[in-house]
Structure 1
Amino acid sequence: MKIEILLDIKNRLGEGPLWDAESERLYWIDSLGCVAYRCTHDGREIRAWDLPDAIGSMAIRKDGNGAVVALRRGFHFLDFRTGDVDLIVDPEPDKPNNRLNDGKVDRRGRFIAGSMDTSEEGKNSGLYRLDPDLTLHKLDDGIIVSNGPCWSPDSKTFYFTDSWSGEIWAYDYDLETGNVSNRRTFTRLDTSTGGAADGSTVDAEGFVWNAQVYDGKLIRYAPDGTVDRVINMPVKKITSVMFGGPNLDVLYVTSMAIRHLPRFPHDPVERGALFAVRDLGVRGVPESRFGA
């Protein structure tokens, strides 16, 4: 195994690495810097799009010419050619202290993303599904910070976390309807060192990889929720993970350069970098595009 800095880009709050297998490009975001990025698998040909507000996640559209972006105040379309950003829908117009956060696309082209309380204290956030016909559906609520949505390779299980719950949850997922049910605890985290569950992905063997922010650990969980592998990263404030590269065998990891809240730890000069973890002996699963 080898950990390297792919780009020392000093993202304020790097998040959401997304490998688009069709174009063979890596996307990621700076949530508080209000920027979406793209590069090749080896960190070349960098492109950036300025956004009008904080961004929580993004998904590539079916035609590849744009994305759905989850901004502070709602889901928007981003046109890669012009940089234009257009509102689709704001799921929480009555909650000014919330913003949209982590999200991914299921294998039928639906975008699932949740919101978060910006003070990271109140259970007033929700989990939403944006369908290809642009209708919006609420899947769950009572959440502080939505994070880590991903699916098992057979799409029958949906994984998700409220970062401050100390747990990663599993739901039954109905791929035909996009509905979730039977929420249960997939695994409980050891939070004694201050860590919390952040972004997740699932590999081809059905194991869940989670970035444990403020603790600097990547943890691979077996399908039964037991810990299979722990990787210590060079920085504590890692935020999310995604397999990519031409062979889907590189684990890309984002991190943040700012402390975000005063109670969180400082990091060395590598803070805010985009990392690549190689030679893991594991491959990922291709991500889907949004179907509209």
Structure 2
Amino acid sequence: MMFELIDTIDVKNYLGEGVTWDDQTQTVWWTDIEEKQLFCYQLSHRQLCAFDTPYRVCGFALTQQADVVLAAFDRGIALYHLISGNTEWLFQFPEGATVRFNEGRTDAKGRFWVGTMNEFGDKTASSGLYRVDTDLTVTKIEANVGICNGLAWNADATRFYMADSGQQVIYQYRFDIDSGEIADKAIFKQLPANTSPDGAMMDDTGHLWSALWGGSCVARFSPEGEPQYFAVPVEQPTCVAFGGEHHNLLFVTSACYQLSDDALQAAPKTGSLFIYQTDVTSAPRPRFAGEFHHG
């Protein structure tokens, strides 16, 4: 299995997350949640740019309009216009809520799925999983989750995967692509207490790739849950996505979040975006398919 580091984008993210490949522009996007920035990196020209955002972007999806993202901010979900800074809210948490949005991905129909986590108090307390349909309605789908992460689907969209990082577990569900409903929740993989499954993506062979926060590695799980581990040069990898011209590059974001000075000195590339050459592929996730007027 090839897993070769070919480039490092040293952006020093405090909490890099949500890495997403844009096949139309050959660009990789990700967020630094705590620094309120969205990054994009054009691969062939090696051009990096960053957008400041009014709130923390915890998850996002690209849309049919190049200058608009569907942003899961800490406090709610909105269409966010990158150039004008205009924010069109679709959903907001009530004042005083202790949860924020976290991981987000689009399914094969272009619906956006995004989970939440409790920021204060009990991190394992029940949080939620939400779905944004193409008519821009927001529906809470699941409540029995602590820190929602690692949203992924298999190639024929019959199975949905979701990690609960607080419990170090990855669940799988039966998925109905037409209705967008999930059912038959079961444990796919239970991980050790010191390792939390974070952002994930499925490859075309049915293996689930997961960034293991605290584990200094990325895992590739077989359809039966058997792991293969690939070391990365940081303690806190946060999210993975396939991309590149041939869809065989793996992008890995990372975080400096709450690490000691000694830990940062031991891993000086912490907070970077890492690009790995692999010998497997994964079809790119679709853009959010919702229709809306430019505003």
Q: How high is the TM-score relative to the length of structure 2?
A: 0.91
State the one-letter code of the partner of 2:175: Y
String of CA shifts for 1:121-142, please: whole Å, max 9, x gaps: 2413100001111111111113
C-alpha change, 1:6 and 1:265, in structure 2 (3 Å) is closer
The offset of 1:265, in angstroms, is: 8.8
Q: Assess, with a 3 A threshold, how the Cα gap between structure 1 residues 219 and 122 changes in structure 2: closer, same or farther.
A: closer
Structure 1 residues 103, 266: CA separation in 2 closer, same or farther (over 3 Å shift)?
A: farther
Correspondence for 1:108? 109
**Aligned residue among 47, 50, 53 for 2:52:** 50
**What's the % identity of the aligned pairs?**
28
Amino acid at match of 1:24: Q
Per-residue deviation at 1:83? 3.1
Give the unaligned 5+ runs of structure 2: 291-295
Q: Distance in 2 between matches of 1:142 and 1:187?
A: 17
The match for 1:24 is 26
Which consecutive unaligned segments of at least 5 residues does structure 1 have?
none
Give the corresponding residue for 2:248.
249
1:288 aligns with 2:290: no
Q: What CA deviation, in whole Å up to 9, does each residue of 1:184-232 have, x standing for no partner?
A: 01111133xx1111000001111100000011111100111111x2101
Where do 1:183-194 residues align within 5 Å? Answer: 183-191=185-193, 194=194
Instruction: Give the CA deviation at 1:42.
Output: 5.1
Alpha-carbon offset, residue 47 of structure 1:
2.0
Name the amino acid aligned to 1:246: E
Structure 1 runs (4+) greater than 4 angstroms displaced: 264-267
CA contact (8 A) 1:203 1:282 kept: yes
**CA–CA distance in structure 1, aligned partners of residues 87 and 197 of structure 2:** 30
1:128 to 114, 127, 130: 130
Correspondence for 1:37: 39
Instruction: State the TM-score, normalizing by the size of structure 1.
Output: 0.92
Deviations 1:30-56 (A, max 9, x none): 011111111112572222111111121
Is residue 197–residue 212 contact of structure 1 (8 Å, CA) maintained in 2? yes
Question: SS state of the match for residue 46, structure 1?
Answer: strand
Number of aligned positions between the proteins:
286
Superposed counterparts of 1:1-292, under 5 Å:
1-41=3-43, 44-90=46-92, 92-93=93-94, 96-119=97-120, 121-191=123-193, 194-227=194-227, 229-259=228-258, 268-278=267-277, 280-292=278-290
